[in-house]
Amino acid sequence: MSKSEQYQSGFVPDFQPQSSIPGKQHKLDPEPHDLELADGSQYKPAGKLEGKKAFVSGGDSGIGRSVAILFALEGADVSIVHLPEEEKDAKDTADKIKKYTDGKRKVLLLPIDLTTEDNCKKAIAEHMKAFGALDSLILNHGTQKAVESILDLSSEQWHHVFDTNIHSFFYLVKAALPHMKQGATMVFNASINPFVGHPGLVDYTSTKGAMVGFARSLSNQLVGDKGIRVNVVCPGPIWTPLIPSTMTEDSQKSFGSKVPMGRPGQPVEVATCFVFFASPDSGYLSGQTLHPNGGSYMG
């Protein structure tokens, strides 16, 4: 089945569990789409981020990989932060960027666990050392693990999910902000879940709701005085390594089939939202959310 046929057929991947979180993209079958759009064409860049320097967390796989690739195609040099154990996926992403841009864009791989404040400071410092500027702070990393009952949700998992999904965002913003100038952008990757309330992802859903509130407050603080825009992307079901590494067999077999479009989305269909929010095309938008979710209405 071709990639365009996968889109049109309402393709739902077969169950293919992975033991590590957030999962390995190079083990997925089929591999998520980084560039290929629903009509069978490839993403067409237009120089929207020419000369910019972007920091992309979780850029080794899934949505983050597609964001990093599209940003590079649009003219940005990119730092990609990834867990040390995701080295192969990160290198694959860097290789793709070099291939698609004919080696014109610089890529810095940063194998850093972002769950501590010191590591977040280190990641920003390494980016600044390499590039000397920070125009787009793209915070995409995250973790989840389904637990059906809150009575079975351990305090250790609750704290780990918050450390990964929201505390690190606070640390990274504080470390990055002194380096960001007027016209810079921040874009966070949240989720559909705080708008619908996923019953099996109470901790994850809570962090994503906190992320939306954090971004709105930041926007009101930064956009006027500093001219830094802050926005959020809230994807629905997207085919990424996080799915086979965190979902049950029943959930994965029906993954994406319940949205109006009847299929899971692909990373590139979310990454285009990040390009929009990071570019001058969205110059009058801040504190806003975009919902690439297959047609589900978020009133």
Residue 23 structure tokens: 């999962």
Angle ∠(62,65,70) on CA atoms, nearest 5: 125
> Is residue 259 within 8 Å of 269, Cβ to Cβ?
no
> What's the token pair of residue 186?
């921040």
* Structure token digits, residue 228: 């830094």
CB 50 within 8 A of CB 255: no
Cis peptide before 84 (omega within 30 of 0): no
Helices (H), 53-154: 62-73, 87-100, 117-131
- Region of residue 237 (phi > 0: left; psi between -120 and 50: alpha; otherwise: beta): beta
Is the bond leading into 30 cis (omega within 30 degrees of zero)? yes
CA separation for the pair 91, 95 (Å, rounded): 6
Catalytic residue among 100, 171, 204, 284: 204
Do 11 and 31 touch, CB atoms closer than 8 A?
no
User: Is 204 a catalytic site residue?
Assistant: yes
Give catalytic residues, as residue numbers.
204
